[in-house]
Amino acid sequence: DTAVSQTPKYLVTQMGNDKSIKCEQNLGHDTMYWYKQDSKKFLKIMFSYNNKELIINETVPNRFSPKSPDKAHLNLHINSLELGDSAVYFCASSQTGPGTEYQETQYFGPGTRLLVL
Amino acid sequence: AQSVTQLDSQVPVFEEAPVELRCNYSSSVSVYLFWYVQYPNQGLQLLLKYLSGSTLVESINGFEAEFNKSQTSFHLRKPSVHISDTAEYFCAVSRTGFQKLVFGTGTRLLVSP
């Protein structure tokens, strides 16, 4: 019954490796997001996809490449991992559209804790 | 651009005491306001939100927040806290019609017996 799920939950890897994090939502939402939470708990949006189309791309290194195969999935691939990439990555989803019936609410996944050694 | 300031990084309080977590925002356009809660090693959960209408919004577990446009604030309050309220609380803002959430730096609420 998990609304927004992420895999893996923990990821420990070496500098220079390439890794992927997967996200799936079963809420029927049309918009998905990736957020990064650093060691000081600061949360910042990285990307947003609406109906598989990229709509928000903050100033994120191009080593980070999101991919949305369909509305229910948004994966994050990271090339050449660096120490500074260590963080918790959260996926979220929401339903957009006119009127407050869509409630403007983003639902978050449990997070993926990435540690780069 | 929007920004959020949470002045208190940590708020210690005794169980059953009242608490207020402060949030101020900056925006030149109309916004939606949110409070999210993060329990240890978990994701974020929406606590409450202001979209329009009544400026006082409430959550199901006793928290409330009041949107004050003149003071650009959205402070979170609870009249009597429980140990289980210990968590990190994030205030967030989004520009109306846009889906990008801008978060504050969070306030850690520590409830002790």
Percent of chain A surpassing pLDDT 90: 64
Q: pLDDT band for position B30 (50/70/90)?
A: confident
Distance from CA of A41 to the nearest CA of B (A): 7
pLDDT in tens, B64-104: 999 999 999 999 999 999 999 999 999 999 887 677 889 99
A38 by DSSP, 3-state: which?
coil
- Tell me what the mean pLDDT of segment A7-26 comes to: 96
Cβ within 8 Å, pair A108-B44: yes
Closest in B44, B99, B102 to A96, CB measured: B99
| pLDDT of residue A75 exceeding 60 | yes
Amino acid letter at A64? F
Q: What does the alpha-carbon distance between residue B101 and residue B71 come to, in Å, rounded to a whole number?
A: 20
Q: pLDDT band for position A41 (50/70/90)?
A: confident
For residue A86, the model assigns a pLDDT of 96
Q: What does the alpha-carbon distance between residue A99 and residue B72 come to, in Å, rounded to a whole number?
A: 24
Closest in B36, B42, B49 to A110, CB measured: B42
Whether the CA torsion A79, A84, A87, A92 is positive or negative: it is: negative
What are the CA-CA distances from residue A100 to residues A85, B32, B52, B64, B81 (Å)?
36, 11, 9, 20, 31
What order of strands is seen across the sheet that includes strand A64-70? A4-7, A19-25, A73-78, A64-70
φ/ψ of A13, rounded to 5, equals: -150, 170
Least confident segment among A3-12, A57-66, A67-76, B2-11: A57-66
